[in-house]
């Protein structure tokens, strides 16, 4: 006699429970992801506020310059913080995309802070008879600028070698009046990557060596670095 | 955007499957400990176990000896060795069993494993019929533990728990975890009546099943899979005796593992196509409605996620190569700032899925080993297996799409 199994009824309730639990896990994942995204944006905002405060502080110090000595003003701390903020903004842009409104507002604020820092540093150096080196770097995240990423690597390397150089990067396509004004003042054409160094605009990919040739101070810094490392070795 | 959506759908399916398995396990975990412990009757059914053999001279003696050592009445157990036209000295090696009344040795022209099995079925007159691959060894109580299941007349076949025989290298240790996972999944699938493989290492059938639904078929070199699907199609129940342990020799090299798994995956896909009428049909229960479609989806899901992983990592590697070509080699400090941890939705869901997988793997270790032991092979399995598995899946899918046949070895 043939004995067949009576096909057990499909347990729809179990399918439903599994579905509800999976949806709950997904909802939790969405919550966690949003929570950390907001945390990150809020951290960026806090950083920007801090930098803004620091700039305000420097500006105030600058206003009091007649009563303060040059050595009290304008160390590299702010430059490092601006650099870290730039790195985090760039990372966030890659993750959440540049269309996010919160992010766009943070990016606008960042560029404004860069320009404020640049102007302040210029004024301080003029008053203090210092001769700092500034690089205004214009890039584009659009596909048309194939060399922009490479120029980014070069400038990161350059900043590691010479922290004295103050590098300010600007998204050429970011349409805000201040960047447009900057482009018009320095006559930056849409031939990216472009850099404004020592009063001249440089177009196209420039290697570390190319930039070193444009900035003669690098030779002095190289000698100073060599001397300090020799001294360190001798003392060890 | 579309790419993200596809990723979410695949991750949802994986997570849903894990949750479904977990619910079923929690629901049945007490039954697992108590089910079919003892035979109530005293009549031992007669059992014929066939050992198909093609060039297995290295392991065949140990395989047969393990069968002869089974705790089972000798007059009720017959071992049928069918040499499928071996070209090595398998047949000569088997001569040691010539005088053993429990062992029958047959020789036939090579025709493939399924022909050897069918040859034995034709010559078998026992109540129960089993098959044991010539590279596998049974535990003494493997057969005895299966018998209580056959007291349920609805059960037509019982499959065992398969473990890796003496795992030596990393690859075999990875397979040890994988086989443990197989033990867990097989147990859970039993409760869903959705077992779809009657594996070569010792599946025992009621002999009459072959009269009812026919003998083995070539079935794209996965005759054990097709037989299970055919039984399911005809509504016959397959059970799993998790206390019946069979040890099998597993591939030692990437090449042999790749070939074996490619054949299994290809066979599954081809048989899934042959049995596509079962898909999404309520009359085929959980197997047709859920397990089979999900098994196919999981192959494509694994391939899609692996491709995405490769592309994203290739981009990172390419960026680093470009950076080195532009500014030379420089070692960046590793940044442990939490800001740079990937907290995108895909990443968080992927972590939940990995957590689910880890839970199930740990449960499978507990079920297969009797207790929870965390060994290095768990990490090998979690980190190496997802890297190597997509290779045979890709090849199997390619060969299925372009109808290329796959060789056994």
Could you read off the pLDDT of B318-377 as tens digits, one per residue?
888 888 888 787 766 666 778 888 888 888 998 998 899 899 989 888 888 888 877 888
Residue B123 pLDDT grade (very low, low, confident, very high; cuts 50, 70, 90) = very high
Domain count, chain B: 2
pLDDT over 70 (residue B408): no
DSSP three-state, residue B56: coil
CB contact under 8 A, A153 and B289: no
Residues B198 and B59 in one domain: no
- Residues from chain B contacting residue A8 (CB–CB below 8 Å): 193, 285
- Asked, for residue B334, whether it belongs to a domain, the answer is no
pLDDT over 90 (residue A123): no
Instruction: Kindly write down the DSSP assignment for every residue of B252-306, as one continuous string.
Output: -SHHHHHHHHHHHHHHHHHHHHHTGGGTT-GGGHHIIIIIHHHHHHHHHHHHHHH
Q: Which of B100, B134, B168 is the last residue of a domain?
A: B134
Percentage of residues in chain A having pLDDT higher than 90: 21
List the single range of A106-115, B123-132, B191-200, B258-267 with lowest mean pLDDT.
Answer: A106-115
Residues B155 and B260 in one domain: yes
State both tokens at A66.
């007649």
Average pLDDT, chain A: 81
CB contact under 8 A, B339 and A18: no
- Residues from chain A contacting residue B283 (CB–CB below 8 Å): 7
Q: Token match 């005796």: residue?
A: B241
Range of the domain at B54: 47-134
CB contact under 8 A, A10 and B345: no
Average pLDDT, chain B: 89
Q: Token match 């085929």: residue?
A: B284
Residue in A2, A154, A160 nearest the CB of B212: A2
State both tokens at A4.
């067949």
- Residues from chain B contacting residue A37 (CB–CB below 8 Å): 343
Residues B94 and B181 in one domain: no
Stated as kind and residue range, the H or E segment containing B341 is none
CA A49, CA A47: separation in Å to the nearest integer?
Answer: 5
Size of interface A-B (CB pairs under 8 A): 94
Residues B281 and B349 in one domain: yes
Q: Which of B111, B134, B157 is the last residue of a domain?
A: B134
Residues B270 and B198 in one domain: yes
Q: Which site among B13, B15, B334, B359 would you substitute to test the A interface, given the most A Cβ atoms closer than 10 Å to its Cβ?
A: B15
Q: Exposure string (b/e) for A66-79, b if CB count within 10 Å is 16 or more?
A: eeeeeeebbeeebb
Instruction: Kindly write down the DSSP assignment for every residue of B173-211, as one continuous string.
Output: HHHHHHHHHHHHHHHHHHHTT------SEEEEEETHHHH
pLDDT of residue B24: 92
Q: Which site among A1, A5, A45, A97 would you substitute to test the B interface, given the most B Cβ atoms closer than 10 Å to its Cβ?
A: A5
Residue in B23, B156, B345 nearest the CB of A18: B23
Residues B3 and B78 in one domain: no
Going across the sheet that includes B77-84, the strands are B103-108, B77-84, B47-53, B128-132, B201-206, B155-164, B237-248, B136-138
Residues B68 and B96 in one domain: yes
**3-state DSSP helix/strand/coil % of chain B, to nearest 5:** 60, 15, 30
Alpha helix ranges (H) inside B56-136: 60-68, 90-93, 113-122
pLDDT of residue A234: 67
pLDDT over 50 (residue A100): yes
Query: Closest residue of B to A31, CA-based?
Result: B345
Residue A1 pLDDT grade (very low, low, confident, very high; cuts 50, 70, 90) = very low
The complex's ipTM?
A: 0.84
pLDDT over 80 (residue A117): yes
- Asked, for residue B220, whether it belongs to a domain, the answer is yes
Whether chain B has a CB inside 8 Å of the CB on A129: the answer is no
Residues B189 and B102 in one domain: no
The whole-model pTM stands at 0.80
Contact in structure between B173 and B380 (CB atoms under 8 Å): yes
CB contact under 8 A, B15 and A37: no
Measure Cα distances from A23 to A32, A166, B62 in Å. 14, 50, 51
Whose CA is closest to B117, among B16, B183, B209, B42? Answer: B209
Residues B10 and B54 in one domain: no
- Asked, for residue B41, whether it belongs to a domain, the answer is no
DSSP three-state, residue A68: coil
Residue B136 pLDDT grade (very low, low, confident, very high; cuts 50, 70, 90) = very high
Residue in A5, A88, A160 nearest the CB of B235: A5
Whose CA is closest to B100, among B65, B72, B126, B71? Answer: B65
Higher pLDDT, A136 or A60: A136
Residue B25 pLDDT grade (very low, low, confident, very high; cuts 50, 70, 90) = very high
pLDDT over 80 (residue A57): no
CB contact under 8 A, A33 and B344: yes
Residue in A18, A95, A153 nearest the CB of B16: A18
- Asked, for residue B42, whether it belongs to a domain, the answer is no
Whether chain B has a CB inside 8 Å of the CB on A40: the answer is yes
CA B300, CA B68: separation in Å to the nearest integer?
Answer: 43
Residues B165 and B296 in one domain: yes
Return the CATH number at B127.
3.90.550.10
Q: Which of B134, B156, B187 is the last residue of a domain?
A: B134
- Asked, for residue B40, whether it belongs to a domain, the answer is no
pLDDT of residue A201: 92
- Adjacent-strand bridge partners of A166: A134
State both tokens at A219.
């030779």
List the single range of B273-282, B361-370, B391-400 with lowest mean pLDDT.
Answer: B361-370
What count of residues does chain A have? 236
Q: How far does CA A189 lie from the centroid of its chain?
A: 22
Looking only at the bridges linking them, the beta strands covering A194-197 and B155-164 are unpaired
pLDDT over 90 (residue B128): yes
pLDDT of residue A164: 82
- Asked, for residue B337, whether it belongs to a domain, the answer is no
Higher pLDDT, A68 or B56: B56
Whose CA is closest to B239, among B146, B143, B163? Answer: B146
CB contact under 8 A, A160 and B352: no
- Asked, for residue B188, whether it belongs to a domain, the answer is yes
pLDDT of residue B390: 92
Is the torsion defined by CA of A152, A156, A162, A168 positive or negative?
Answer: positive
Query: A129-133: long-range contacts (C-beta < 8 A, 24 or more apart)?
Result: A130/A70, A131/A217, A132/A164, A132/A166, A133/A162, A133/A164, A133/A165, A133/A166, A133/A197, A133/A198, A133/A215, A133/A217
pLDDT over 70 (residue A66): no
DSSP state of B358: H
- Asked, for residue B230, whether it belongs to a domain, the answer is yes
Residue A77 pLDDT grade (very low, low, confident, very high; cuts 50, 70, 90) = low
Residues B350 and B319 in one domain: yes
- Residues from chain A contacting residue B286 (CB–CB below 8 Å): 10-11
**3-state DSSP helix/strand/coil % of chain A, to nearest 5:** 65, 10, 30
- Residues from chain B contacting residue A28 (CB–CB below 8 Å): 352
CB contact under 8 A, B326 and A153: yes
Query: A223-231: long-range contacts (C-beta < 8 A, 24 or more apart)?
Result: none
Residues B167 and B275 in one domain: yes
Residue in B212, B237, B282 nearest the CB of A5: B237
- Residues from chain B contacting residue A18 (CB–CB below 8 Å): 16, 19-20, 23
Contact in structure between A236 and A171 (CB atoms under 8 Å): no
State both tokens at B18.
């894990």
């Amino acid at each position: 006699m043939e004995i067949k199994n009576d096909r057990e009824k499909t347990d729809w309730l179990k399918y439903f429970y599994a579905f509800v639990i999976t949806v709950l896990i997904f909802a939790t994942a969405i919550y966690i992801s949003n929570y950390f995204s907001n945390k990150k944006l809020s951290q960026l905002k806090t950083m920007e506020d801090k930098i803004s405060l620091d700039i305000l502080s420097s500006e105030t110090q600058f206003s009091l310059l007649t009563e303060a000595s040059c050595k009290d003003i304008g160390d590299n701390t702010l430059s490092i913080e601006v650099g870290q903020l730039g790195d985090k903004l760039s990372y966030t842009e890659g993750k959440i995309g540049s269309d996010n409104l919160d992010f766009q507002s943070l990016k606008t604020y960042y560029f404004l802070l860069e320009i404020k820092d640049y102007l302040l540093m210029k004024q301080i150096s003029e008053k203090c008879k210092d001769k700092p080196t500034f690089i205004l770097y214009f890039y584009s995240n659009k596909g048309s600028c194939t060399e922009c990423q490479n120029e980014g690597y070069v400038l990161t390397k350059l900043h590691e070698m010479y922290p004295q150089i103050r590098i300010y990067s600007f998204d050429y396509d970011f349409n805000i009046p201040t960047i447009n004004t900057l482009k018009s003042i320095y006559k930056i054409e849409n031939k990216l990557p472009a850099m404004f160094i020592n009063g001249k605009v440089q177009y196209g990919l420039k290697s570390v060596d190319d930039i070193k040739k444009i900035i003669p101070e690098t030779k002095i810094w190289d000698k100073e670095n060599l001397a300090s490392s020799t001294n360190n070795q001798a003392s060890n | 955007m579309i790419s993200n959506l596809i990723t979410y759908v695949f991750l949802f399916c994986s997570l849903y499957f894990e949750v479904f398995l977990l619910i079923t396990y929690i629901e049945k975990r007490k039954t697992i400990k108590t089910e079919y412990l003892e035979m109530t009757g005293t009549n031992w059914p007669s059992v014929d176990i066939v050992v198909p053999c093609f060039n297995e001279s290295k392991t065949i003696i140990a395989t047969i000896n393990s069968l002869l050592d089974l705790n089972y009445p000798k007059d009720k157990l017959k071992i049928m060795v069918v040499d499928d036209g071996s070209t090595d000295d398998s047949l000569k090696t088997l001569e040691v069993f010539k005088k053993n009344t429990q062992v029958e040795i047959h020789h036939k022209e090579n025709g493939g494993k399924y022909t050897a099995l069918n040859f034995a079925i034709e010559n078998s007159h026992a109540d129960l019929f089993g098959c044991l691959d010539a590279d596998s060894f049974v535990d003494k109580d493997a057969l005895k533990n299966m018998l209580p299941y056959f007291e349920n007349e609805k059960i037509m076949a019982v499959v065992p728990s398969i473990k890796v025989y003496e795992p030596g290298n990393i690859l075999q240790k990875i397979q040890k975890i994988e086989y443990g996972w197989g033990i867990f999944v097989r147990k859970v699938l039993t409760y869903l009546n959705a077992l779809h493989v009657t594996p070569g290492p010792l599946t025992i059938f009621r002999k009459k099943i072959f009269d009812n639904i026919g003998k083995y078929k070539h079935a794209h070199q996965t005759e054990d899979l097709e037989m299970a699907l055919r039984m399911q199609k005809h509504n016959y129940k397959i059970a799993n005796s998790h206390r019946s342990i069979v040890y099998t020799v597993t591939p030692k090299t990437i090449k042999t593992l790749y070939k074996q798994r490619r054949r299994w995956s290809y066979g599954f896909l081809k048989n899934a196509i042959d049995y596509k009428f079962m898909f999404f049909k309520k009359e085929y229960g959980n197997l047709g409605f859920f397990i089979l479609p999900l098994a196919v989806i999981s192959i494509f899901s694994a391939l899609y996620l692996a491709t995405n992983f490769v592309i994203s990592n290739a981009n990172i590697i390419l960026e680093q190569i470009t950076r080195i070509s532009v500014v030379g080699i420089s070692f960046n400090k590793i940044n442990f700032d939490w800001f740079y941890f990937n907290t995108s939705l895909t990443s968080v869901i992927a972590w939940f899925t990995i957590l689910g997988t880890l839970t199930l793997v740990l449960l499978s270790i507990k079920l297969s080993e009797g207790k929870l032991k965390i060994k290095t092979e768990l990490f090998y399995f979690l980190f190496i297996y997802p890297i190597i598995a997509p290779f045979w899946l890709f090849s199997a899918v390619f060969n299925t799409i372009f109808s290329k046949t796959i060789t056994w070895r």
